[in-house]
Chain A
Amino acid sequence: MKARELAVGLRTAKAPGPDGKGPDDKGLDPARSATKSQEYSESIINTIREPLIALDQDLRVVSVSRSFYEVFKAKPEETIGKLIYDLGNKQWDIPRLRELLEKILPQKSTFDDYEVEHDFADIGRRTMLLNARQIQRVLGKERIILLAIEDITARREIEKGLETARKELKQLTNELKHTTRMKSEFLANMSHELRTPLNSINGFSEVLFDETFGPLNEKQKKYVNNVLTSGRHLLLLINQILDMSKVEAGKMGLALSVVSITGLLNEISMLVADLVSKKKLQMVLEIADDLPDIEADELKAREIIYNLLSNAVKFTMEGGTIGLRAKRAGPDILIEVWDNGIGIAPENMDKLFEGFFRVDTPFSRVTEGTGLGLPLSRKLVELHGGKLGVVSGGLNKGTVVSLTLPIVSQMAPK
């Protein structure tokens, strides 16, 4: 109990109180002046939000702020005049506080942000920041110590929570990266494993269909053609799934070149002309004469237009009309593929881009498709820096797919 002795020792050496001040106080009543200055100090102390303790040089409490009573659930009669360590049933006998008041403060006279953690019986474990000032009274030799206590328990808890959250987030990010890598590896392997048997299925049925090693009868030829058609469909699916996952993983690059969009649109429309005439459809082309060449990945641009035109063919009844419009729209080329076919019910609009969505009508069952053409086309348009949207008047009211392709690519060359 060295500190206690020290405090007591100091007390015996104490100079007389404020009332004992000399007569050279400009004739003011020393007692009144002292009371006034005490009131003044206390009103300052009480306006401070944080608990504040004023101690005399014996470490006895002279005054505390109102918030001290609130925070530490203390009563004035148990506080004023007591040795700080004895407060609240000696709850304040904190080794770190002793260190501050007895060792550090006598040497430094001020101390900032001294962190003390303590388990209080009444209010639980608290982390506090202590700021201390040792103030010499102007004339007396007496000093007082101002001790401001900032309760940072909640702040520390938030900081700890943040740190934990940060660690968890980092772990999650790593897991996500790992999962993404696993997913692309899985897809690459899957694609390889599926292509190997498909090579046999498509290859042998192609050779049979071509009658390279001898003629087939009509039925055999029809059957082997069915095998070939299904095999190619399966291959298209595999390729589109792989492309979707590449786009999603940000691994789909663009091989940009200067493309004649007029030439491309005309070529693709000729490519679908066969399908159009087979279904006895009308195809209306409205391609502006003044379309500039664009910067694009030609293969992907072809794929987009082909997907949309073949969709228009698929979803339009025999005898219907489909069309392709293209014009310049500021920095972009605006392309619209339209039809007067089965349209899209409002409730199905959102599902169009989910993948594998096929409009559920008796008509759709006879159509061939992967359900990935539209979502993949949108991704490919977006990769070029354009937009793709679908408008339909509703069921059996036809469909318009609009897309933009920038004339000058905004994408950084790879």
Chain B
Amino acid sequence: MRHRALVVDDNPNNLMLVKDLLEAADFEVLEAETGTQGLVLARTEKLDILILDVRLPDLRGSEVAKQLRLSKETRDIPIVFVTASVMPEGRDEIKTIANTAFIGKPINTRTFAKEILSFIR
């Protein structure tokens, strides 16, 4: 069965890159450019994994994740944060949320899909 991923990133180029890489690895990819859009899609669509940018124009990625952890339907979706931030503060924020992982930007296109796959289950 194909895996379903939701990618939330406000930078259209980065969104396209991640989408293309995942599609090349036979994922089905849904896209969102804001945290709110991402929340709506995560609540209505069945997802195997959520790939979240940390800095979004409306909500922080960590905020989106915290909200999803509150409801039964969405609390088990694995979340991978992709961020260009290098400050430890950002990572501490993420560490406190269950079932999450972290990939730094720039991503390694050769290993990205494999890394994502390893976070499912």
Task: Determine whether the beta carbon of B11 is less than 8 Å from that of A196.
Answer: yes
Residues in A with CB closer than 8 Å to B110 are: 206, 210
CB atoms of A203 and B84 under 8 A apart: no
CB-based contact B11/A206 at 8 Å: no
Q: Given the complex, which residues of B lie within 8 Å of A200, measured CB to CB?
A: 11, 13-14, 17
Chain A residues with CB under 8 A of B21: 203, 207
Chain B contact residues: over half helix, strand or loop, or mixed?
Answer: loop
Given contacts A196-B11, A196-B84, contact A235 B24 (CB under 8 A): no
The answer to whether B85 touches A192, judged by C-beta atoms less than 8 angstroms apart, is yes
CA A203 to CA B112, docked complex, whole Å: 10
Given the complex of chains A and B, what is the CA–CA distance between A206 and B107 in angstroms? 10
A199 touches B107 (CB 8 A): yes
Q: Which residues of A contact B84 (CB under 8 A)?
A: 191-193, 195-196, 199
- Asked whether A188 lies within 8 Å of B106 as measured between CB atoms, the reply is no
Residue-wise, chain B 80-113 has the 8 Å CB interface mask toward A (1 for contact) of 0000111100000000000000000111111000
- Contact residues in B for A188 (Cβ distance below 8 Å): 85-87
| Residues A210 and B86 in contact, CB atoms below 8 Å apart | no
B95 to chain A, nearest CB (A): 16
Q: List chain A residues, Cβ under 8 A from B85.
A: 188, 192
* Main SS class of interface, A: helix
Indicate if A213 sits at the interface (CB-CB under 8 A). yes
Report the Cα distance A19→B68, complex, angstroms: 109
Bound CA–CA A231/B106 (angstroms):
10
Nearest A residue to B18 via CB reads A203
Q: Whole-angstrom distance between the alpha carbons of A117 and B14 in the complex?
A: 75
Residues of the A chain whose Cβ atoms lie less than 8 Å from the Cβ of B109: 203, 206-207, 210, 212
Using CB atoms, name the residue of chain B closest to A191: B86
Cβ of B45 < 8 Å from any Cβ of A? no
Interface string of B4-24 (1 = CB under 8 A from A): 000000010110010011001
Tell me whether A202 is interfacial, beta carbon within 8 Å.
Answer: yes
Query: Which parts of A70-107 form the interface with B (CB within 8 Å)?
Result: none
> Out of A197, A207, A231, which one reaches B20, CB within 8 Å?
A207
A213 near B24: Cβ-Cβ < 8 Å: yes
A363 contacts chain B at the CB level, 8 A cutoff: no
Assess whether A356 is interfacial by the CB under 8 Å rule.
Answer: no
Residues of chain B lying within 8 A (CB to CB) of residue A204: 13, 17
Give B111 Cβ to nearest chain A Cβ, in Å: 11
- Chain B, 20-46, CB within 8 A of any chain A CB: 20-21, 24
Known: A203-B106, A207-B20. 17 other contacts (CB 8 A): A191-B86, A192-B55, A192-B84, A192-B85, A192-B86, A195-B84, A195-B106, A196-B11, A196-B84, A198-B105, A198-B106, A199-B11, A200-B14, A203-B14, A206-B109, A212-B24, A213-B24
Residues of chain A touching chain B, judged by Cβ–Cβ distance below 8 Å, are 188, 191-193, 195-200, 202-204, 206-207, 210, 212-213, 231, 235, 242
Q: Which residue numbers of B lie inside 8 Å of A, CB to CB?
A: 11, 13-14, 17, 20-21, 24, 55, 84-87, 105-110
**A/B interface sample: 27 pairs, CB < 8 A:** A188-B85, A192-B85, A192-B86, A193-B84, A195-B84, A195-B86, A196-B105, A197-B13, A198-B105, A198-B106, A199-B13, A199-B17, A199-B105, A199-B107, A200-B13, A203-B106, A203-B107, A206-B109, A206-B110, A207-B17, A207-B21, A210-B109, A210-B110, A212-B20, A213-B24, A231-B106, A235-B106
